[in-house]
Each structure stands twice: as C-alpha cells, then as structure tokens.
Structure 1
Amino acid sequence: MAVVRQDFVQSVVASGHVQTPHRVNIGTQVTGTVKCVPVAEGQSVRAGQVLIELESAEWSAALAQAEAAVSQARARLRQLREVQVPVAAQAVRQAQVSLDNARAQLHRNMDLFRQGFVGQAALDDMRKTVDLVEAQLRASQSQFVSVRTGGSDYAMAETALAQAMAGAAMARARLVYATIAAPVDGALIDRAVEPGDVVQPGKALMVLSPAGKTQLVVQIDEKNLQLLAPGQKALASADAYPELRMAAELVYINPGVDVQRGSVEVKLDVPGPPAYLRQDMTVSVNIQVARRPQAVLVASDALRDAGRSGPWVLKVDGRHARRQPVRLGLRGGGFSEVLEGLQPGDLVLSAKATDVHDGSRLRAVAKSSAEARTPSP
C-alpha cells in the first residue's frame, strides 16, 4: 500500500439522541374533572392555546358569589361616606346647639336663683340637663370620628372590602385554573389525560417539547476529551434516516466524567433542524476535531506498535522489507498522519503480514488493478 498526500480530517464518532434544551410538564393547580382535551399527542401548539379544560360550573358560581360580596362591601363603604358621615356630622352640630342652649338656660336660672325667683330644685334639674346634653355631644363626636375616613367603622368597612376582593381574586384564579393553556410554542410529545378523568395537582398530564433550539446529546469516550473544543463542526444523521446528513456545532462539554461509562457528555446545536427530526431520536455524530491540508497519510493497518511510544512500519526498499520508525500526528478514518519517516509514494506492508520481517526479500506480483509487493517464498 502506498503513502499518499491529501487533505485529512480527524474525526470523533459517537452516538446520542435528539433533545430540546428542556421539556415542560403540563399539569393542573386544582383538583377537578376534565371536560375536554382539544389537542392530540404529537400536535404542534402555540403559546396560549388551550390544552385541557376542566368542569368549571361550581367555580363560576363561587366567583359570582365572591363578586357579589365585593359589591356589598363597596356599598357599605359608600354608605359610610355618603350617608353616615353627613348624618353623624349633623348630629354633632345639633348636639352642640342643644348644649349651647342648655348652658344659656343654666346661666339664666342661676341669675334667677340669686334673685330668689327659682328654687334649688329647678337649678339642679337644669344642671342635670346640661350634663346630659354634654354626654350626647360627646357620643355624637365619637360616632362622627368612627364613621369618617380613618375611623374604626370606616377601617372595618375597608377591611371587609379588601377581604371580599381577596375572595373574588381567589375564586377568579380557580376559574382561570380550569383552563390549562400552552406556556410556549412547541409540540406535545406525551398525553396522559382524557375527558372525564379526575385530575389533581402534582401529576404531569402532558409533556411539551418547546419549539426553538434543537440539540444533539452525545456520549464521547473520555480518551477523546483532549481533542474536543467548543465551536468544532460536525455532521450527524438520524438512525431512522441514515442517508440524510445535518450540520451541527459543538457548544457544550460537560466538566465531569461519567464514572460508570467512562464517557463525557457533549451537546451540539443543530442550526437548521430538518423536519423529520423528532425528540429522543437516536443519532450518529461525526465531529471534526482537526484538519490538515495536504498531509502525508499512511493506512492505519500498516502501523506496528501504534499504541506505543515507538510506532514503525515495514517499508518496501527495493526488493527488501525495511523497518522504518515513524512519528504520527492525526488519526482517523483508517488513516494516520505521518510527521516523520515516510514520503508520498513510499510503499509499506500491512501489519497483517506477520511472516514478513525486517530484511525479508520481496518479489512483485501482478494484481487486477495495481502492482503490489508480497513476501517472496
């Protein structure tokens, strides 16, 4: 076999599977009965599209009741502002007028008492009247403070309104939860729910594979780790469509090594995924880890002691086989790059020819398409 000069690409070949960056488990946040499921497994969906509808009559009634409670609380607050506050203010004014009149009458009675026109009993009765009217004024003032903004009755009315609004929000949220929609664009890769099912929180009812970036997840033997680098180009093919190729690019190398398998997980982006590509498809990937233009190449099956520090070949030297040490570079695809020891056009013998040794005599024989060297008898 001849040593040749040509462009050479070293590749790392491995298998893996198709994966989107993440999957979305679709479930429910409330317990309920499924009314309908308007989508099918494998269907592409848009963000916001309805996936599952639950029976919601009870929740709709609860929402109506909660909204009625909100209206009632608002009416109570409005009544305080528009009715009770003016009435309480008027009561304070009336009590103040009554107190002023009672105090004036008391002063007149005191003058008459000094002049001897009224008795002590009449004067005492008038003082009691003044005390009573003062008490009524204080009560009216307290009532006015209570019903106006910042007062206790007003605060209780505001609290009741806030509670009613919170109840309405909860009822509204439960009603919203009755409709389960797609959070993102994607394809449904699993469906485990049918109309009539009773569903509960915590169980995945569907699995959504989001649209967008498609990646190939591949396990690479750890001995090839030193050859890998982000940005390297690759060609991949799905096992279901082996004759079709797709371009990919290495974007991630896991910093850890799988101890059980002795491999490293890497991920490759597929910038233009073909339409036939499906989630979890098995793929074969050929990663181009190095390229040499016009490299000197020898067939790898001609190398001897290739895994040791001093590889060598049996080179055809005239009519004899001569041991020739070589220094190797890139390897792959059945060829190895020769950095030193051989030149293009040199002939070497296959390592399978175990009966040929350094110095063995050779003779030429004719073959169907090329001349070859074989051991002489």
Structure 2
Amino acid sequence: MYSRIPVPPKPEAPPAGLPQRSMRLWSAVRPHVAGGLAVAALLAAAAWLGPRWLLGPRVEASAVVQRDFVQSVVASGHVEAPHRVNIGTQVTGTVKRVPVAEGQGVNAGQVLVELESAELAAAVAQADAAVSQARARLRQLREVQAPVAAQAVRQAQVNLDNARAQLRRNTDLFNQGFVGQAALDEVRKAVDLAESQLRASQSQLDSARAGGSDEAVAATALDQALAGAAVARSRLVYATIAAPAAGTLIDRAVEPGDVVQPGKALMVLSPAGKTQLVVQIDERNLQSLALGQKALASADAYPEQRLAAELAYINPGVDVQRGSVEVKLDVPDPPSYLRQDMTVSVDIQVARRPQAVLVPSDAVHDADRADPWVFKVDRHHARRQPVRLGLRGGGLSEVLDGLHAGDLVLPAKTSGIRDGLRLRAAAVTAETRAPSP
C-alpha cells in the first residue's frame, strides 16, 4: 500500500527586482500580510451582510393616514341633449330651398326646408272647388227642393180631396141608380191614386227637410269635401318644413334639387335645454348610485376644465353584453366649449367619510372576500393583521377596524414576506405612494 504524501504549496514569489536583503525580509513578513487581508475581507463582508442577516430585509412600507375621504365612481361617456329631433318630410317632393346650414342655431318655427308646391297648391284649389259644390248642393236642397216638395204635397192633398168628393157624389148616384158599378170603381181608383201621390209627395218633403235623408246626404258630402280640402292644405303646409323647437342643427343631409320622401331624416336638431352627460357604469357600482349625487366631469378635449354635474337618471335595466348601467347627469351650467357627442370623463361622488383611516388598496390581501387582511409592521416584524373595510376608491381603502393612523403596512406585491419575518421598513405616506393599477 502506498500513501500520498501532501506536497506543500509553492511559496509565493517575491516581487521582481528586490535586492537580496529585501527578499529575505519579504519571506519573513509574507504570512502575516496574507492573514491580515483575509481578516479585512471577512470584516467587510460582515459589515455588508450583517444588517440583512440580523435586522432582516429592507422593504418599503406605507403609512396609514387619517383624513376626509370621498368615494367616487369613475366612468366615461358623451355629451347629449335630453332628446334629439330627426327632421324629415311627410310628403314626397323636390327640394326647392334649404335656407339653413349645419351647426346653425334656429328658432322654433323657422323654415328649414322648402319643397316645390305647385302641384300641392293645385290640389288645394281642386279641394276648395269640391267644397263649394257640396255647399251649393246643400243650399239647393234647402232653398229649392224642400219648397217644391212642400208644394207638391199641397197639390197632392187637393187632388185627394177632389177625388174623395167625386167618390161621395158617385156613391150617391150609384145608390139612386143613376150610375153603374164601373163608373163607381173608376172614381175609387182615382182616390187611391191621389192618396198614393200624396204619400210620395210627403216622403219627398220629409227627405228634403232639415234632418231628412237628402239633407243628410248633402251634409255628408259637404263634410267630405271639407276633409279633402283640409288634407290638401296640410300637404301644402308639409311643403314647408319648420323647426319644431329652438336648438342647433347638428346634421344636414339634404340639398336643393333632391327628391325626398317620408321616412328619411333630412336634418338632426338638438333642442335647446338641459345638457346631459350619458355614461355607462359597471353594474357592480349600482348599489352606490343614487339620484342627486354630485359629480365632476371633464371633456377629453379640455382635460383641465372641470364642470359640475348631478346624477338625474339611472336606467332600470342592465346591459347584458357589457354588464353596465346607463346613467345620465344634468349639467346646470354647461360651458360654451361643450359640444354634442363630445367624450367626457365623469367622477361621481357616491359617499363621503370625515376623518377616515385610510390604507393603500394595494396593501390589502383578499379585499373582495369576507376576511381581508394586511401585513402590518410591528416592532420590526411583519404581522398578519385582519381588517374590516369600508369605502374604497382612488387607490385607497377605508379601514373601519384593525389599523390606526401612523401604522405601517406592506404592499401585497412585496415578495418573500411571511408572518413574523424580521424586516427594516422604510415608510412612505399613502398620498405619495402610487396606487397599483
């Protein structure tokens, strides 16, 4: 069996160029120099790593603050008048004149579009002639036919009286034997004929009198003619399209010479009145909304300008596709730069809490569950602290129980933190700490 004999390390060569005496001195002090360097390195490593080993890692912590807090619901939408009016025509025709321009303000009753009206005017004249004819027919019935019918009744009554007198005389002569049966029958036929003529004349008189059938027919014809004239006049009126209310024309899709027909919008009018902001709110915030809540809004085109608004309408239905609720806010004093359909951002103040204890929302674990908690700094240690939350918004959460102003909490995204871990906390305030997205 052979054993390996350890070979001593080769002594470090002295620096080149030393004299013989210096070389002997170098050999004597070299071991002491090497040992000193090792000790210095160990001391430097301890100075660098010692605090981390002994005091724990250095982490950023947020200070819990206490101040007035407003919970807000933020959403975006657009500017809209309470309603829009699509201006169209009710008759088919050719556009003669369009005296207004898009973007122009108009008054109620101001002419917007004129159509060619010669044919419509001729229809009105024809309808007026039909009315005159119906009135003349009714007048003729009352002034001519009724008196003639009355005269015919009187004449028929006289004829009947004469026929009856003749029948009485012939009956006496027949009883005395002076006339035969044939002559008596002829007289009786004459009486029957006179009675029939009287009944016919009376019927004609009854029909021609007020309330009779002839007068009813004539009066109905007059009413029909009047209705036709009204239709013709209304169609003539439709040839001139006027503004139904004061407002601003936000769209125009018609030019002179166009052939227009019902069902096509020629212009869109935004009536003067309340300006509203229409926004979509996530349905999760529905329980926080209430009519009358104040809000601040800004147009995307003018982000530095803030305008006051008030919640005026909450749609009773929920948009299934987007999971949102449409709400409308009144703008009591709209600025001049606000335009129809302009995009706006709205900040609705749904709750206010004076002197609330606030913690950054990104420091709360399980915030949407029944038992939220935070890592609280307690005497240089991380402690799991249950909390009870209240209002939330703007990157902050109200703490109803579990923390006090001045406490330090750790962001939830801080890695490597566990309950009881020793650490060194560097505090920043909730206002200066940027909330996590």
- What is the TM-score normalised by the length of structure 1? 0.82
1:25-64 equivalence runs, <5 A: 25-64=86-125
1:112-261 equivalence runs, <5 A: 136-261=197-322
In structure 1, runs of 5+ residues without a counterpart are 368-377
Whole-angstrom distance in 1 between the partners of 2:225 and 2:268: 37
Q: Is the 8 A contact 2:374 2:410 kept in 1?
A: no
More deviation, 185-194/224-233: 224-233
Question: Aligned to 1:88, which of 111, 128, 149?
Answer: 149
Are 1:24 and 2:85 an aligned pair? Answer: yes
Are 1:323 and 2:383 an aligned pair? Answer: yes
Whole-angstrom distance in 2 between the partners of 1:130 and 1:304: 119
Deviation, structure 1 residue 142: 3.7
In structure 2, runs of 5+ residues without a counterpart are 1-61, 429-437
Q: What does the per-residue CA deviation read over 1:177-200, in whole Å, with 9 as the maximum and x for residues that have no partner? A: 212222233322211111111111
Whole-angstrom distance in 2 between the partners of 1:305 and 1:152: 90
- AA partner of residue 315 (structure 1): V
- AA partner of residue 145 (structure 1): D
Identity level (%): 77
Deviation, structure 1 residue 56: 1.2
Whole-angstrom distance in 1 between the partners of 2:357 and 2:294: 23
Q: Is the 8 A contact 2:382 2:423 kept in 1?
A: no
- AA partner of residue 6 (structure 1): R
More deviation, 134-143/212-221: 134-143
Q: Is the 8 A contact 1:316 1:349 kept in 2?
A: no
- What is the TM-score normalised by the length of structure 2? 0.72
Q: Describe the shift of the 1:352–1:118 C-alpha distance in structure 2 as closer, same or farther (beyond 3 A).
A: closer
- Structure 1 partner of 2:424: 362
Are 1:77 and 2:148 an aligned pair? Answer: no
- AA partner of residue 322 (structure 1): A
Q: What does the per-residue CA deviation read over 1:40-69, in whole Å, with 9 as the maximum and x for residues that have no partner? A: 222223333222221111111111111121
- Structure 2 partner of 1:274: 335
Q: Is the 8 A contact 1:17 1:218 kept in 2?
A: yes
Q: Is the 8 A contact 1:324 1:341 kept in 2?
A: no
- AA partner of residue 377 (structure 2): K
RMSD: 3.3
Whole-angstrom distance in 1 between the partners of 2:408 and 2:198: 124
Secondary structure of the equivalent of 1:267? strand
Secondary structure of the equivalent of 2:157? helix
- AA partner of residue 323 (structure 1): R
- Structure 2 partner of 1:68: 129
More deviation, 235-244/35-44: 35-44
More deviation, 103-112/180-189: 103-112
Answer with 1 or 2: which has the greater Rg.
Answer: 2
Whole-angstrom distance in 2 between the partners of 1:13 and 1:323: 34
Are 1:313 and 2:380 an aligned pair? Answer: no
- AA partner of residue 311 (structure 1): W
More deviation, 5-14/343-352: 343-352
Q: What does the per-residue CA deviation read over 1:154-196, in whole Å, with 9 as the maximum and x for residues that have no partner? A: 2332232122122212212211221222223332221111111
Q: Is the 8 A contact 1:326 1:339 kept in 2?
A: no
Whole-angstrom distance in 2 between the partners of 1:29 and 1:126: 71
Whole-angstrom distance in 2 between the partners of 1:279 and 1:184: 17
Secondary structure of the equivalent of 1:251? strand
